[in-house]
């Protein structure tokens, strides 16, 4: 005899999702008993608010990153020197974090402020700010968001972006794949095939939705909560399918250059940043993230140690020297990205003025495995910049990093009173 629940697994590969009906203990028990390069933005996106987050999985050397002087007169440190030309377009923050512990196992909270195991009973789960924004404004573009990053490494793949239902957003891992997303056009035959796939996936979703609704009348409160989470996952996929149907016959923008040769995030930060800039310019998306993972190690820097291994430097001079070289390289490319955005006219302002660009990490010190005093830079977005802001880190006046995220959301036109662990907007 088959169980009342045949835990069927529905694979919606083209929608980028896997839906598995959760195990429902109350029904299982009953069954067991019974069985014993464009220089202006294009299209409708001119002047629209945008958001980009760049995260580093292993943090930065705090002594070489943070200035001692606050305000507009802060000194240019070793790691901030590449950003000196963008000084008036950015703010450095000191003291912002989520008040969490866990080292590498808390780095996934960088854009959410919430640990996985504490997300269950929260209305928004551990959704990250990029996906939170994508829910609100992502339907205005072909791609609600673009998640770029490296997979692999000792602590797993990209951990920067998470949906409301607690699902990790798999990253685009190389320039070739990102280029195809932005510019490659399917043949008429492939578009027809995708249409059939969309119809099949919709039919599958309708079936599992009806089945889950039927089950919700038969289960206890605990299992009903599991089904609520399941319904959220279904709605996520439904939104993806609807968006894909809407854009199916809309032409993609023309590519400004030939498709780059296949390379990974480690070796081609410059191309990834350029493609993200083009995604914003062409209004293909208004939200993007880039995570630099533990396997980051550009060969031309002449470093023969693993990035992750170096992060546990034990204050050894050679290891710290290599880390600063790796971190400086990352910040140099970030500076070039900001400069690139500042050179693009977006209506009456620049693309950088339209885009809030966050740079930092969910870990403060890879060596001591701390998640406090995170390295945070915010550029563009129409903010008044040009200084180092040091915030209160103790007591009732402590300022959570999520306050800054809420401020970013509101500036993007999202009507939200809270985000993550926020206690208000940043002031």
User: Tokens standing for 386?
Assistant: 């040009």
In terms of C-beta density within 10 A (0-12 exposed, 13-18 middle, 19 or more buried), how is residue 134 classed?
A: buried
> Where along the chain do its domains lie?
52-185+251-411
Asked if 217 contacts 4 with a C-beta cutoff of 8 angstroms, the reply is no
Taking the C-alpha atoms of residue 101 and residue 99, their distance in angstroms, rounded to an integer, is 7
CA distance 193 to 188: 9
Strands 345-346 and 349-350: antiparallel
- All residues at 6 or more sequence positions from 223 whose CB lies less than 8 Å from its CB, including other chains: 22, 24, 25, 26, 27
Q: pLDDT value at position 247?
A: 67
30, 8, 27: which is closest to 18 by C-alpha?
8
C-alpha–C-alpha distance, residues 126 and 378, integer Å: 22
CA 134, 59, 400, 89 torsion-angle sign:
negative
Q: Which residues contact 161 (CB under 8 A, 6 or more apart)?
A: 111, 128, 130, 131, 145, 147, 168, 169, 171, 289
| CA–CA distance, 53 with 161 (Å, rounded to integer) | 10
What is the model's pLDDT at position 419? 96
User: How many residues does this entry show for the chain?
Assistant: 427
Residue whose C-alpha is closest to residue 162's, from 153, 152, 171, 173: 171
Whole-angstrom distance, CA of residue 356 vs CA of residue 291: 16
pLDDT computed for residue 295 by the predictor: 78
Q: Is the backbone of residue 233 left (phi > 0), alpha (psi -120 to 50) or beta? A: alpha
Q: In the structure, how many helices (H) and strands (E) does the chain have? A: 11, 11
**Predicted model pTM:** 0.80
pLDDT value at residue 207:
67
Q: Does domain 52-185+251-411 have CATH number 3.40.720?
A: yes
User: What pLDDT sits at residue 193?
Assistant: 63
Q: Which whole-number Å values give the CA distances from 252 to 50, 145, 179, 366, in the listed order?
A: 20, 16, 11, 41
What is the token pair recorded at 320?
Answer: 């710290």
Task: Tell me 149's DSSP state.
Answer: E
Q: Where are the beta strands (DSSP E) in 5-103?
A: 9-12, 17-20, 50-56, 90-94
pLDDT tens series, the chain, 427 aa? 344 444 444 444 444 444 555 545 444 444 444 434 445 665 568 999 999 999 998 899 999 999 999 999 999 999 999 999 999 999 999 999 999 999 888 999 999 999 998 988 788 889 999 999 999 999 899 999 999 998 866 566 788 999 988 889 999 988 999 999 999 886 666 566 656 655 666 566 566 666 666 666 676 766 766 666 666 666 666 666 666 666 677 889 999 998 987 655 556 899 999 999 999 999 999 999 999 987 787 878 888 888 877 878 777 888 899 999 999 999 999 999 999 999 999 999 999 999 999 999 999 988 888 999 999 999 999 999 999 999 988 877 899 999 999 999 999 999 999 999 999 998 6
pLDDT at residue 300, rounded to an integer: 81
Which pLDDT belongs to residue 302? 82
């Amino acid at each position: 005899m088959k169980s009342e629940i045949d835990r069927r697994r529905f694979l919606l590969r083209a929608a980028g999702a896997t839906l598995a009906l959760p195990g429902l203990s109350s029904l299982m028990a009953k069954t067991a008993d019974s069985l014993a390069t464009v220089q202006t933005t294009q299209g409708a996106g001119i002047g629209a608010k945008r958001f980009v987050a760049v995260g580093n999985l292993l943090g930065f050397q705090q002594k070489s990153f943070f200035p001692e002087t606050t305000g507009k007169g802060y000194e240019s440190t070793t790691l901030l020197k590449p950003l000196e030309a963008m000084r008036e377009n950015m703010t450095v923050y000191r003291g912002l974090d989520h008040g969490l512990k866990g080292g590498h196992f808390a780095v996934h909270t960088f854009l959410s402020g919430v640990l996985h195991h504490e997300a269950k009973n929260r209305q928004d789960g551990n959704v990250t700010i990029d996906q939170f924004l994508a829910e609100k404004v992502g339907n205005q573009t072909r791609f609600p968001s673009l998640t770029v990053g490296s997979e692999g490494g000792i602590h797993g793949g990209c951990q920067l972006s998470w949906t409301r239902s607690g699902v990790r957003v798999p990253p685009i891992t190389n320039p070739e794949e990102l280029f195809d997303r932005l510019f490659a056009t399917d043949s008429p035959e492939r578009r027809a095939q995708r249409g059939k796939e969309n119809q099949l996936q919709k039919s599958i979703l309708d079936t599992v939705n009806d089945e889950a609704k039927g089950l919700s009348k038969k289960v206890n409160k605990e299992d009903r909560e599991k089904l609520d989470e399941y319904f959220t996952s279904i709605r996520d996929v439904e939104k993806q399918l609807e968006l894909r149907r809407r854009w199916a016959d809309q032409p993609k923008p023309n590519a400004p250059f030939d498709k780059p040769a296949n390379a990974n995030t480690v070796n081609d930060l410059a191309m990834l940043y350029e493609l993200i800039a083009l995604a914003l310019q062409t209004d293909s998306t208004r939200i993007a993230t880039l995570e630099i993972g533990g396997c980051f190690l550009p060969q031309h820097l002449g470093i023969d140690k693993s990035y992750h291994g170096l992060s546990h430097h034990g204050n050894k001079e050679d290891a710290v020297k290599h880390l600063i070289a790796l971190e400086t390289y990352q910040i140099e490319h970030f500076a070039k990205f900001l400069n690139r955005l500042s050179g693009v006219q977006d209506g009456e302002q620049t693309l950088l003025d339209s885009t809030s660009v966050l740079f930092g990490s969910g870990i403060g010190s890879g060596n001591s495995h701390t998640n406090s005093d995170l390295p945070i830079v915010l550029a563009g977005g129409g903010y008044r910049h040009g200084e180092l802001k040091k915030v209160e880190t103790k007591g009732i006046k402590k300022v959570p990093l999520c306050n800054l995220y809420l401020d970013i959301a509101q500036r993007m036109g999202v009507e939200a009173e809270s985000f993550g662990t926020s206690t208000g907007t940043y002031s």
